[in-house]
Amino acid sequence: MTRSTITAAFASEAEALVTVAAGLSRAELQRPGSCPPWTVGELLSHVIVATGRVRQALAGPADGPDSRLVATADYYRPDERFSPAANADRIEVASKLSARLGTAAAMSAELDRVSQDSLRLLAAAASDRTVRTRHGDRMLLTDFAVTRIVELGVHGLDLAISLDRPPWLTGPAATVLLELLLPGGQAGRVHERLGGDEVTLIAKLTGRLPLPAAEQDALRDSGVTRLTLG
C-alpha cells in the first residue's frame, strides 16, 4: 500500500469517528460496550490511546539486536501482547482516560488532536522510516500506521454495535482493511463466496459478526489466515 492510501484511510476514518463521538450523549457513553468490560466511553478512550501511539513509536529506538522487520499481519500474532497482564493494562489505561475526559466533547476533541498529530508525523517521516512498537516489533512506520487504521476501523465497528447504529466505516479504510485481511488478490474470490457488502465482510473476518460453518470452510479453502485481534 502506498503512503497516500494509508494516510487517506487514517484521516477519513479518524474524521468519521470524531464526528460520531462529538454527538454522543452521556447515557450513550455509559452504555456497555461490545468489548467487555469497557463502556462505550472507555472503548472510545482506548481508540484514542491507540491512535496516538504513532508518536510513541517514533520516539523510541528503531534499531536493536532484532533487526527483522515485522509485517503488518505478523503484528497480530497470538503472544504476550494478548496476555491477561497486557489486557489488564489496556483496560486500566482506557478507563482512566475515559474518567479524566468525562464528556463526549472532550473525547472527540482529544481524538481529533491525537489523530492530527499522528497524521503530521506520518507526513513528515521518511518513506523508509522504521519504528519499534511497544510490543518490541520493528516495523516500517507505514505498516504500523495500518495497525492504527485497524484500531479506528474495527473498534469503530464495535462502537457501532454497542450504540445500535449502522456502521460508519469509510471506503478508504475498508480498502486498507481488506488488503490486510485478504492479501494476495484474495478479496474478490472470498467476497464472492461469503457475499454481503465490504463492511459485512470485514465484520465477519474480524469476528464482529459470526461466520457460519460453510463460510468458515470457504475461508479455509481459500487459504485465508484470520488475524488475532482484541
For residue range 32-78, what is the model confidence (pLDDT) as tens digits? 999 999 999 999 999 999 999 999 999 877 665 557 899 999 999 88
Question: Does residue 180 form part of some domain?
Answer: no
Question: Does residue 178 form part of some domain?
Answer: no
Phi-psi category of residue 157: left, alpha or beta, with phi > 0 → left and psi -120 to 50 → alpha: alpha
Question: Does residue 214 form part of some domain?
Answer: no
Chain mean pLDDT for the chain: 91
- Residue pointed to by grid coordinates 488478490: 185
**Residue 89, domain CATH:** 1.20.120.450
Question: Does residue 127 form part of some domain?
Answer: yes
For residue range 160-198, what is the model confidence (pLDDT) as tens digits? 999 999 999 999 999 999 999 987 767 667 777 777 789
Neighbours of 84 (CB within 10 A): 8
Question: Does residue 201 form part of some domain?
Answer: no
Number of domains in the chain: 1
Q: What cell numbers appear for 192 in the block?
A: 464472492
Q: Which residue segment(s) compose the domain that 82 sits in?
A: 3-169
**Average pLDDT rounded to a whole number, residues 103-119:** 98
